[in-house]
Chains A and B, each alone.
Chain A
Amino acid sequence: EAGVAQSPRYKIIEKRQSVAFWCNPISGHATLYWYQQILGQGPKLLIQFQNNGVVDDSQLPKDRFSAERLKGVDSTLKIQPAKLEDSAVYLCASSLDRGSHEQYFGPGTRLTVT
């Protein structure tokens, strides 16, 4: 079974630029999550999708971050404009459904904002 795929693996941008990350969850997984992991901290949930609908985006900085999962499969996370404090690893995870206990994580995208 293929795992969660993410791209790019690394990205370096200057502040005020925009960036987008892509995630392809495990086939058949209805629930998709985006986490932000700042160096030295645990992952923090940014947004959770159930199919193509948003379940929880309470910790998403909506003035600069946006995410979509239009067809209920792949998802993109965008930052516009980026700030220095956005430097982090962005992890995508998926689970079979909202009630599933296990989330499967992708390798992450390491973002550096200079």
Chain B
Amino acid sequence: AQSVAQPEDQVNVAEGNPLTVKCTYSVSGNPYLFWYVQYPNRGLQFLLKYITGDNLVKGSYGFEAEFNKSQTSFHLKKPSALVSDSALYFCAVRDNAAGNKLTFGGGTRVLVKP
């Protein structure tokens, strides 16, 4: 069975500082990994994905994530956080053997302070 862990319930960062949101995963086959962001009273918005290829993937709004197979991690990063990045972030994994089923982590709330 596939699973995702986001060890931090909340991350606080000052505006302009680097932001990292951690994610580790467990899957039997090759993982497809995703990050989504959720703003209040809105649905999830896709940020980026890792399918294959370069371990560093770039996504929307200046976010990037690094796939590390040996550590089974897919941490989300942004070099310089904005107040508008304050939201709920979800990591998700898809096991090709399970069709297109996404398994989500519990989410990490990011608070960027001015």
Which residues of A are at the interface with B, using a C-beta cutoff of 8 A?
A: 4, 31, 40-45, 48, 55-56, 91, 93, 95, 98-108
Contacts and interface: CB of A to CB of B under 8 A. Distances in A.
Interface residues of B, number: 24
A2 B42 CA distance: 15
Given A40-B106, A42-B105, 19 more contacts: A41-B106, A41-B107, A42-B92, A42-B106, A43-B102, A45-B101, A45-B102, A45-B103, A48-B99, A55-B99, A56-B101, A95-B100, A98-B100, A100-B100, A101-B32, A101-B34, A101-B51, A101-B94, A102-B49
Interface in B1-48: 4, 32, 34, 36, 41-46
The SS class assigned to the A binding surface is loop
A48 B100 CA distance: 9
Contacts, number: 57
A104 B99 contact: no
Contacts of A4: 43
A103 B99 CA distance: 13
B44 A91 contact: yes
Q: For the complex, would chain B's binding face be called helix, strand, loop or mixed by DSSP majority?
A: strand
- Looking at A4, A40, A43, A91, the one whose CB has the most chain B CB atoms below 10 A away is A43
Contact of A102 (B46, B103, B106): B46
A44 B102 CA distance: 8
Nearest to A100: B100
A98 B43 contact: no
B63 interface: no
A59 B100 CA distance: 15
22 contacts: A40-B106, A41-B106, A42-B90, A42-B104, A42-B105, A43-B44, A45-B102, A48-B100, A55-B99, A56-B99, A91-B44, A98-B99, A99-B100, A100-B100, A101-B49, A102-B46, A102-B49, A104-B46, A105-B36, A105-B43, A105-B45, A107-B41
